[in-house]
Structure 1
Amino acid sequence: MSDPNSDTQFGGPDEKTQVLPETAVALVELERLQIELAASEERAKNHWEQYLRALADVDNVRKRAAKDLESARQFAVERFAQELVGVKDSLELAVQNASGANAGKADVASLVEGQNATLRLLSKAFEKAQIEEVNPEGKPFNPELHEAMMAQPSDAAPNTVLAVVQRGYTLNGRLLRAARVVVSAPRS
């Protein structure tokens, strides 16, 4: 009663045994892929969170650096200003001694002594602030550090600084003010 075509037509026992292992393999592969997908999604989520934290850290560092820079800019001259307060006190004392009720009592020697003391205070303040004089007398003219006010015929080598009209200053090697100088020129 069994028709040889009926097994093939309705999927006989041989066909079922072949389909089931393929389905089981596919299910196992599907489960493995789902686990792998979940793990990849978790890693992606962790990486995204790490990225956001790093972005926030960079933003915080940038804000802190800007704040520190502003603070440094605001208080950079504080030490120098403290040094200058003493210089101002000394100058006020000299003016007080030279004028008003003390005018007759002040002598030139004590005024000069006071001015020298004030100059020493100012020089120390400059030294602490790393402000250096540019006093190039007798040296070759350097347009980066000197401003020629005039050329004067001289026996000195051409473009030699003969005299300093106004000293220049540098701050940490950077020019604050060029020295104004008289430069030698060849005799005609």
Structure 2
Amino acid sequence: MKRLALSGALALLAAPAMAHTGHGAEGLAHGLAHPFLGADHLLAMVAVGLWSGLVLPRRVWAGAAAFMTAMITGAALGFAGAALPMAEGMIALSVIVFGLLVVMARRGQPRALTAVSLAAIAAFGTAHGYAHAVEATGSAAAYVAGFLIASAVLHASGILAARALVTGRLAQILAGGAVVAAGALLVAG
């Protein structure tokens, strides 16, 4: 039991392996490009848009707002030098969770389920924002503005896709399932 506790404590203290290194993370252009070039971010944001469009027809931007607000919080933590253990793992896991949310999405689903889903979206959004911040160099404000703009575009594309899926339950399941499968590949890789 002592070894397990020690192993867990050491794992939390270890520096994270960053899967996002090796690409530009400076200024507006890189902030705009990264969400489109990083499969994890692209899949997660489109899936949040899909979920929002399927579940929240009147408050369609609620999922995106929860995600992007949490991204700002995560970015602030990263810029402040705070540690967010296992942020990369949380990002990969977010793709699976968001895909499952798309598969299970229903208009008129219980409010409690919607609230839990929005809380999960926000929690994972924090990890995404944190990852963006710790990789940023140069003009952090411009980089954050870029990834927020790109995120809004990806959320909007998911919302528009959800509008096309409204009458197609099979298409919704296939879309969500494809996101889950891609997330599983990210977790395994």
Structure with max Cα Rg: 1
Q: TM-score normalised to the size of structure 2?
A: 0.25
Q: TM-score normalised to the size of structure 1?
A: 0.25
| Bigger helix share | 2
Structure scoring higher RCO (CA < 8 A, sep ≥ 6) equals 2
